[in-house]
Structure 1
């Protein structure tokens, strides 16, 4: 059997298997056009020259059926039924539209606040550690120390003691033979705390020397060695307060003609 391309009039030999696979529609191998091969199908070629094959006439025309017995309806889901019962205005009333930038902004804020909170906690912890490391300098500072003392007084707390022996002033001193203990000396001294804060009682250094300034004896006295009052020892020396201290030391002999006091 033969068929002819209606575009370039090329004639091709075809068989029943090829026509069955393509359902009669083939592509021209010369010009590439697609066409219905059955419309120009012929059993044999006419004598040359020829321009067009004779049309193939189908033997039986397919019958038409007209009587409809049953036609299934498309299934309707819950959403389709609800959409059909609602009016267009009701359907648009339930529609919620959120702008893209609003969603992005809300998401960004939700993700940012935990990091901000963590940074604030770390910053407060670092500030507390730094304040504790510099507590003596802060309490000794006239401005910051005054604020801390007022705050602590309002909160009913106590600041840690700060020692600044440079603010201790020796107002008076005296030495004499101990009236009741043989071979001992009785040294008295009056000191004042010029610091704007309460100081712990200092360690007192007593040095006895001869006329040439040579040290004959020296002793370091801790606060609990020259103070008998435990409550006074705990409270410390208040800001601007003056007090008299008594020290008992061993007499190094007549060569000791001078003495001095120091604070640590």
Structure 2
């Protein structure tokens, strides 16, 4: 087969493979012009000399091909007639709702829940320890805490409230065995519903005009010899007698006062 470049009128020989590569569009090897080789495609050249190959007029309808030289066999299976199934009776079937179907297991949340619960308990414990005096002094929570500690064999910390200490009786006399000293005794009752630590006792000696002559603060370890008794504190509702030894300021001291701190 032959075709002609419309620019330089060069005639070229080509085959079906060359036409198929670019669908008929080729480049002239002489002037490098691109053109449609199908426009002047012909099987035979006219007698020489000639100038231009006659153009191929486009057909109004595509050519109809009748001569079949080869047809490959089809690889698809031939359709078979399938009998129409008879309608089935679904009256005896039961359908489970969508929410009854098993769901996919989601991420495990119990570790986070356990951590949150533990942190909440720790926070509650810290708040309870910070407000322990108020909780122990409260009749409702104090009784509950004491009952819990009696079961767990633990000890509550002692709460100090000197306003609940009542001085029932007091007395002063010359020390029978130590010269130049006074022996002061006092009877004290703990009116609180909880055990209190032993108080610091402030003893003030006064003259006839109420002027302070001497003053001394006695801590629990100074007037209590038993260390175990110091740690246990003054039990709720308990009454006890305290004895103090102080220096005698002389004949000017006619009275004294006791204060709890």
Same fold (TM over 0.5): yes
Higher helix share: 1
Structure-2 residue corresponding to 1:96 = none
Is the contact made by 1:2 and 1:44 (CA closer than 8 Å) also made in structure 2? no
Structure-1 residue corresponding to 2:209 = 212
Normalised by the length of structure 1, the TM-score is 0.65
- C-alpha distance after superposition, 1:108-133 (max 9, x if no partner): x41x3332222222222222122112
Q: Distance in 2 between matches of 1:52 and 1:242?
A: 132
CA RMSD in angstroms comes to 3.7
Cα offset, 1:141, TM superposition: 1.4
Q: Which runs of 4+ in 1 moved over 6 A?
A: 45-50
Structure 2, gaps ≥5 residues long: 5-9, 27-36, 47-51, 60-68, 71-99
- Are 1:250 and 2:247 matched, yes or no? yes
1:1-264 aligned at under 5 Å gives the runs 1-2=2-3, 15-16=12-13, 19-23=16-20, 26=23, 41-44=42-45, 51=57, 102-103=103-104, 106-107=105-106, 109-110=107-108, 112-264=109-261
Is the contact made by 1:2 and 1:43 (CA closer than 8 Å) also made in structure 2? no
- C-alpha distance after superposition, 1:171-225 (max 9, x if no partner): 1111112222221111110000111111111111101111222211011111121
Is the contact made by 1:174 and 1:187 (CA closer than 8 Å) also made in structure 2? yes
Q: Distance in 1 between matches of 2:124 and 2:254?
A: 54
Structure 1, gaps ≥5 residues long: 4-12, 30-35, 54-62, 65-98
- C-alpha distance after superposition, 1:3-29 (max 9, x if no partner): 9xxxxxxxxx98555842443771679
Q: Distance in 2 between matches of 1:18 and 1:258?
A: 143
Q: Distance in 1 between matches of 2:253 and 2:133?
A: 39
Is the contact made by 1:19 and 1:25 (CA closer than 8 Å) also made in structure 2? no
Structure-1 residue corresponding to 2:78 = none
Q: Distance in 1 between matches of 2:117 and 2:191?
A: 39
Normalised by the length of structure 2, the TM-score is 0.66
Aligned positions, number: 204
